[in-house]
Amino acid sequence: DVQMTQSPSILSASVGDRVTITCRASQNINIWLAWYRQKPGEAPELLIFRASSLENGVPTRFSGSGSGTQFTLTITSLQPEDSATYYCQQYNNKWTFGQGTKVEI
Amino acid sequence: EVQVVESGGGLVQSGGSLRLSCVASGFTFNTHAMSWVRHIPGKGLEWLSAISRSGNTTYHSDSVKGRFTISRDNSRNTVFLQLNNVRAGDTARYYCAKSPLGVLGFFDHWGQGAQVTVSS
């Protein structure tokens, strides 16, 4: 099974900050990685797919990069509504989520 | 507008069974794979099961294989998750999620979820 490890687990930042979340896969998953944001009490929403493709309607302050085993999600100019938990998910070999990164503002 | 709406959650005794339903609208249901994912507070998201467009192919995670079964009825735009022999660790919010056209990989629309609580 492919294991996904995110860091940090918790991140504290201020409005307007640039933040980066890292996701590491236990084996090569090429570019088959997605990122989601889950606000408290809400369903997850897709932000990025294929490692770096922005989902329609998602603000351009979100971007993704990486391939193989190392990936990053970057949020430029953090907004109050970005207070949420972020998950990476691989889909190269079945489906596995990372444990999540909670972003506190 | 794409919508997926889960139902069937509730309180169930350990060892019991429950069937979750997910009704979809706003897209051509039989051209999209569907999945179930659960969220346990403090533990994160866990993919459980996926089913192909036709329903001929299903996948289950090792943690639920043999206990949970995914199925679909394309005539009713509905996907199901049958939960058997439930345990305390199955207490979670269960989400139905849609994959994009031609992809069985990531999830572009999610329902609001159905809460399942297992009591001992």
Per-residue pLDDT of chain B (120 residues), as tens digits, is 999 999 999 999 999 999 999 999 999 999 999 999 999 988 999 999 999 999 999 999 999 999 999 999 999 999 999 999 999 999 999 999 999 987 888 999 999 999 999 998
Candidates B60, B103, B106, partner chain A, best to mutate (most A CBs within 10 A)? B106
Strand blocks (E) in chain A: 4-7, 10-12, 19-25, 33-38, 45-49, 53-54, 62-67, 70-75, 84-90, 96-97, 101-104
CB B51 within 8 A of CB B70: yes
**pLDDT (tens digit per residue) in A8-33:** 999 999 999 999 999 999 999 999 99
Determine the pLDDT at residue B59: 95
Residues of B in contact with A96 (CB under 8 A): 47
Mapping DSSP to helix (H, G, I), strand (E, B) and coil, where does residue B83 land?
A: strand
Closest in B44, B62, B111 to A97, CB measured = B44
The pLDDT value given to residue A75: 97
How many Å is the Cα radius of gyration of chain B? 13
Residues in chain B within 8 Å Cβ distance of A95: 35, 47, 50, 105
Residue B108 with chain A: CB contacts under 8 Å: 46, 49, 55
CA–CA distance, A33 with B25 (Å, rounded to integer) = 27
B29 at interface of A, judged by CB pairs closer than 8 A: no
Token look-up 């691989």 returns A90
Task: For residues A5 and A92, give the distance between their C-alpha atoms in angstroms, rounded to a whole number.
Answer: 15
Rounded to a whole number of angstroms, the distance between the first and last alpha carbons of chain B is 40
Report yes or no: B4 and B98 within 8 Å, Cβ to Cβ: yes
Residue A101, pLDDT > 90, answer yes
* Cα separations in angstroms, A70 against A51, A101, A102, B42, B80: 10, 16, 19, 24, 35
State residue B104's pLDDT score.
Answer: 81
CB contact under 8 A, A44 and B45: yes
pLDDT, tens digit, for every residue of A43-85?
999 999 999 999 999 999 999 999 999 999 999 999 999 999 9
